[in-house]
Chain A
Amino acid sequence: MTMASSSRSRTLDPANLDPLQRWLARAVEADRVEITRADLLSGGAVQENWRIDASIHGGSRAGQNALVLRTDAIARLPMSLDRPREFACIKAAHSAGVLVAEPIAECADKTVIGAPFTVQRLLSGTAQGRRITRDPKLGEFGPALAREIGAQLARIHTIRPPHEALAFLTRPEPDAVAAAVAEMRGALDKATEPRPALECVLSWLLAHKPAPRPVSLVHGDFRTGNYLVDGGRLTGILDWEFCHWGDPREDLGWFCARCWRFGNDALAAGGIATRADLLDGYNSVSDAPIAESELAFWEILGAARWAAIALLQGQRFLTGGERSLELALTGLMPAEMEFDALEAITALEAGRPIA
């Protein structure tokens, strides 16, 4: 059995899989389950992900099953949903026809592997932004991939409140932009480093907010790096822990924000295609079409949001006592997003398209 090395403490013990095997057999209504592989997958500063190969005997899932087991990790971001809530969002998305790893079972009992966890079907492909945006065949598959991603996002946005299974999500704010700006100002107030440029961007956002759209489920971290691609095709949308009720354009703006293009700056839709490609797919599914001219505002809001998050990450190092070089380096990043946001605002004010 191969084990990826990590300094993080783990929950699941590959040498003691019996409790998990017994629990899984009950959860999928099988006679018996034999786990033949349990590997800690890379990535996931927020959560722990294990690949589990299970031989299922009896029941509707009989046969070889490649699964992903996810736990809540120690370092959960304050904004993020816990595992059971994230799983409820994934189930709602799956029911709405969104391409997502099939949700199979969840376990709240800490005694099985040491922490609550969920089980989903394993999807093939890579989520690594750099690998996707540097694929030599991107020119061939990029536009179609972006259209598919747009279509999937529109399906996510068909989920609207009230929604019984998602009743735990905070009531939607009537003014999503004012709420987002208030939250970012809260981050600035917590920080020990004043950021006049970010203040400037936030004031601009408040002064230029568009008319609201009907509230929908917003993925909250919908970007390159959070979907899987296999052979140029989309296999699934990942990382649902930032789901909330909000303006659907927030997801589109985050996807296209200049900070999430992984070096492919000219391809505004996540470094893989044009905004038009993404919106083509989106508007082919959505009953509330969105125009390209609407995106600039939400891309600027996305840049500001990432700046505020990076600032708070830096504070965890600076004043929170977390001696992490990654947090310290992230804390240096707000200047980048502020720069892009100010450039975009200057372009808009001059009547030019944004980068």
Chain B
Amino acid sequence: MTARRIDADALLDLATEMLRADVLPALPPEQRYAGAMIANALEVARRALAEEVEAAEWTLLDSLYEEGEGSTAQLARDIRSGTLPEGKARGLADDLRTLLIAELRVRNPRFLASRGISG
């Protein structure tokens, strides 16, 4: 039989639900912003456990550099100095957009929804 454990995802999910449903409404007004920030941070953390932003990063980097050679710091430098090869620079905006979407799935899926991109 497969072992079932209480994992980080389940804990964060339940903790956030309780915070939003039971604790936030009972907070005095001047503490509500802090409470909302805590709930927000827990939700970001929970999504960060599940999503793989790094995979999207490597897909982009491996399309631009020798496999395993690139880094976002290198890419940032090459963009600033304009030294990306012409052929590779052309699709860059689209590739960066894909990378940002992967990031935003963790950081703020509601933002993506407001821009017409489903979670």
Contacts and interface: CB of A to CB of B under 8 A. Distances in A.
A329 interface: yes
B104 A325 contact: no
B44 interface: yes
A203 B92 CA distance: 13
Interface of B: 28, 30, 34, 37-38, 40-41, 44, 71-73, 75-76, 79-80, 82, 92-93, 96-97, 99-101, 103-104, 107-108, 111, 114-115
Contact of B79 (A5, A196, A265, A342): A196
A42 B107 CA distance: 27
Interface string A1-36: 000111000000000000000000000000000000
Interface in A308-355: 325-326, 328-329, 332-333, 335-336, 338-340, 342-343, 345-346
7 contacts: A195-B76, A325-B41, A332-B108, A333-B108, A335-B104, A336-B107, A339-B97
A334 B93 CA distance: 16
A128 to B, nearest CB: 12
A346 B93 contact: yes
B19 to A, nearest CB: 13
Nearest to B40: A329
B35 to A, nearest CB: 11
Contact of A200 (B73, B93, B111): B93
A221 interface: no
A342 B100 contact: yes
Majority secondary structure, B binding face? helix
A149 B83 CA distance: 43
Given A332-B44, A336-B108, A196 B97 contact: no
A187 to B, nearest CB: 12
Give the top 5 A-B pairs by smallest Cβ distance, nearest first: A194-B76, A199-B79, A194-B72, A194-B73, A197-B96
Nearest to B114: A265
B107 to A, nearest CB: 4
Interface string A190-223: 0000111101101100000000000000000000
A308 B34 CA distance: 24
A121 interface: no
B82 A203 contact: yes
A contact residues, range: 20 to 34
Given A185-B80, A197-B99, A336-B108, 13 more contacts: A4-B30, A42-B30, A194-B72, A194-B76, A195-B76, A196-B99, A197-B97, A203-B79, A325-B37, A333-B108, A339-B111, A339-B115, A342-B97
B38 to A, nearest CB: 7
A335 B107 contact: yes
A338 B79 CA distance: 15
Given A199-B76, A202-B80, A332 B107 contact: yes
A200 B80 CA distance: 7
B38 A325 contact: yes
Contact of B76 (A196, A328, A336, A343): A196
Nearest to B106: A332
A336 to B, nearest CB: 5
Contacts of A335: 100, 103-104, 107-108
A317 to B, nearest CB: 11
Contact of A6 (B30, B37, B72, B97): B30
Nearest to B61: A196
Nearest to A203: B79
A252 interface: no
A194 B115 CA distance: 24
B80 A199 contact: yes
Contacts of B38: 325
Most buried by B among A196, A263, A325: A196
Contacts of B82: 203
Contacts of B92: 200
Contacts of A339: 97, 100-101, 104, 111, 115
A5 B30 contact: yes
A254 B77 CA distance: 27
Contact of B96 (A265, A325, A332, A342): A342
A38 interface: no
Contacts of B71: 194
A188 interface: yes
Contacts of B79: 196, 199-200, 203
